[in-house]
Structure 1
Amino acid sequence: MSVYDNVACGLRWRKEKNEVVRRRVEDVLEVVAMADYRDSNAKTLSGGETQRVAIARALTTQPEVLLLDEPTANLDPISISKIEEVLAHIIGEQRITVVMATHDMSQGQRLAGRVGVIMDGKILQVGSPNEVFTLPKNREVAEFVGVENILAGIVVEKESGLVTIDVNGSGIEAISDYEVGERVYALIRPEEITLTLSKDMSSARNAFPGKIVK
């Protein structure tokens, strides 16, 4: 079966007219950058090309929502980049809603307008990529999105939106709405840490002495 016939399957099952089939198939092959493979045998395509053909086949029926289950899994970086370009075009130019499952955190940040974190069949948090990745709702979400430094503590002071968190006897100041007495987690990403040889060399609100051990 050729790439053209593969992409046309859905339209032919719906008994669309030949002219409609031709126009839509040619249009979507352009969208997924597979027009040059129109007459190629679909079985000879690479993994990334096969995924783009599958996306094209779904697009021919002009769906309002496109459901994708890890469309870039087990693909090489170049193929992943091409598929992401296709998806960005579909979302941005064709205005089709795409619901996509992925375990690639950076991919979610690049493509998504909204992100949902699902663990053990439960939706733990839904929000913009910035909200989910910088303000995870709980420890499970924080670990899932890659936060490595998670410090458990308790709010001991609050004034004008600034709280002090006691973490094993050390105080950490942060902007927060949590109230005194609440147990919280302070999340610190490696890129948010600044190292200096003297406390006076930094204007950071929170400063702690330490020693590089690794």
Structure 2
Amino acid sequence: MLRIESLTTSLGDFSVRDISLEVRDNEYFVILGPTGAGKSVLIETIAGIHFPSSGRIVLDGRDVTRTAPWSRPVGMVYQDYMLFPHLDVGENIAFGLRQRRVPAARRREQVIEICGLLEIDHLLGRSPGSLSGGEQQRVALARALVLEPKVLLLDEPLSALDGPTRERMRAELSRVRRLTGTAVLHITHHFEDVFALADRIAIMRDGRIVQVGETGDVFLHPADRFVAEFLGIGNIIRGRSERFGSVVRITTTSGVTFSAASGTLGEVVATFHAEDVILSGAPFASSARNCLEGEVLGVVPCGSTIQVRLDVGFPLTALLTRESCHDLALSPGVRIFATFKASAVHLIPVGS
């Protein structure tokens, strides 16, 4: 297990501050955050490239805070692969083993073994410059995994790949984690990586961790408005909540009310996903407490789905299939009813 305790690292005017988190054995842990949040500084500190000004890094019960990078049981893969152009694939993969003075015969065995696992045996004699992006990424992954690290550190490893290659590499990372049992700490800004790979996630902002949790829980229950906006939650509404029977009633600044299954009272920000909104030409019987009439402001194609923007007394967004949008004949100016459950609404106290 990797444990980070109150870690602070300063580089010039920027710092990652008071970071505490754990990556469990065999866990796939993803750190998300906007550009400049400090994700790379954090992962490079764990790797030993930077030394922290305070705090500890503990790996399998061993304090490695001041341990040299090559003596830490971690492997690292960068976005740009960082393969040595003057070495062939086999020599690149064996580089760390040579640094550790592993005997030549054993080096060859380990290189062949990891190349078999990643299905890149046929690349062994090639030069890095002759490889595709996906092949270079597999070689960089092999170079990290051949050292049998306790934790694999991945710094935006899929960002330079095209869509289809990135999808294949996600499947490869999942397979490798399953076969090797290696814990993975992966930093990214692609939500697709999170949904495909992560057991738990952390959100970073301005050098701090602002939320940690299981993937589904963080997306459904953002800790604050920044997290909700960063995760792209479709509906974020300011209002005031008060007790109303078994639920709370939120009154928006425009005076429109809706319900939430929450105990949070006072000034709040209500969030719910566009996918949780059902549109219909007339109210219909359901268990959902919220049904608001409004006007379509815009219809925006988003791949296989359609984003519908409404005015229900406050801006509201729904996400529909193309078929549903066609059946409802939605276009700007059409009157429509928006229905959503009180349980779909998450409330964040203002000031959180």
TM-score above 0.5, yes or no: yes
2:216 paired residue among 104, 117, 130: 130
Moved more, 151-160 or 119-128: 151-160
Alpha-carbon shift at residue 166 of structure 1 (Å): 1.4
Determine helix, strand or coil for the equivalent of 2:106: helix
- The residue identity in structure 1 corresponding to 2:152 is L
1:120 paired residue among 187, 206, 220: 206
Moved more, 126-135 or 78-87: 78-87
- The residue identity in structure 2 corresponding to 1:205 is R
Determine helix, strand or coil for the equivalent of 1:199: coil
Identical aligned residues as a percent: 35
What CA distance in whole angstroms lies between the structure 1 residues aligned with 2:172 and 2:114?
10
1:6 paired residue among 77, 88, 92: 92
Alpha-carbon shift at residue 177 of structure 1 (Å): 2.9
Distance 1:68 1:174, change over 3 A: same
TM-score (norm 1): 0.92
Determine helix, strand or coil for the equivalent of 1:63: coil
What CA distance in whole angstroms lies between the structure 2 residues aligned with 1:90 and 1:33?
11
**Residues 19-98 of structure 1: pairs in structure 2 closer than 5 A:** 19-98=105-184
Task: Provide the alpha-carbon RMSD of the alignment.
Answer: 1.6
What CA distance in whole angstroms lies between the structure 2 residues aligned with 1:57 and 1:133?
34
- Would you say how many aligned residue pairs link Structure 1 and Structure 2? 211
What CA distance in whole angstroms lies between the structure 1 residues aligned with 2:129 and 2:137?
12
Give deviations 1:128-184, integer Å, cap 9, x for gaps.
Answer: 110111111111001111113200111111544x22211132222111131x3x222
The match for 2:314 is: none
Moved more, 59-68 or 12-21: 12-21
The match for 1:164 is: 249
Q: Choose between structure 1 and 2 for higher RCO, CA contacts under 8 A separated by at least 6 residues.
A: 2
Tell me if structure 2 keeps the 8 A contact 1:156–1:164: yes
Gaps in structure 2 of 5+ consecutive residues: 1-86, 299-352
Tell me if structure 2 keeps the 8 A contact 1:151–1:187: yes
Moved more, 201-210 or 43-52: 201-210
Determine helix, strand or coil for the equivalent of 1:207: strand
The match for 2:276 is: 192
Tell me if structure 2 keeps the 8 A contact 1:31–1:86: no
Determine helix, strand or coil for the equivalent of 2:280: coil
What CA distance in whole angstroms lies between the structure 1 residues aligned with 2:147 and 2:229?
39
Alpha-carbon shift at residue 208 of structure 1 (Å): 0.5
Alpha-carbon shift at residue 43 of structure 1 (Å): 2.1
Tell me if structure 2 keeps the 8 A contact 1:84–1:111: yes
- The residue identity in structure 2 corresponding to 1:37 is L
TM-score (norm 2): 0.57
Determine helix, strand or coil for the equivalent of 1:151: strand
Determine helix, strand or coil for the equivalent of 2:153: strand
Alpha-carbon shift at residue 73 of structure 1 (Å): 0.9
Q: Which has the higher helix share?
A: 1
Q: Which has the higher strand share?
A: 2
What CA distance in whole angstroms lies between the structure 2 residues aligned with 1:95 and 1:45?
28
Alpha-carbon shift at residue 102 of structure 1 (Å): 0.2
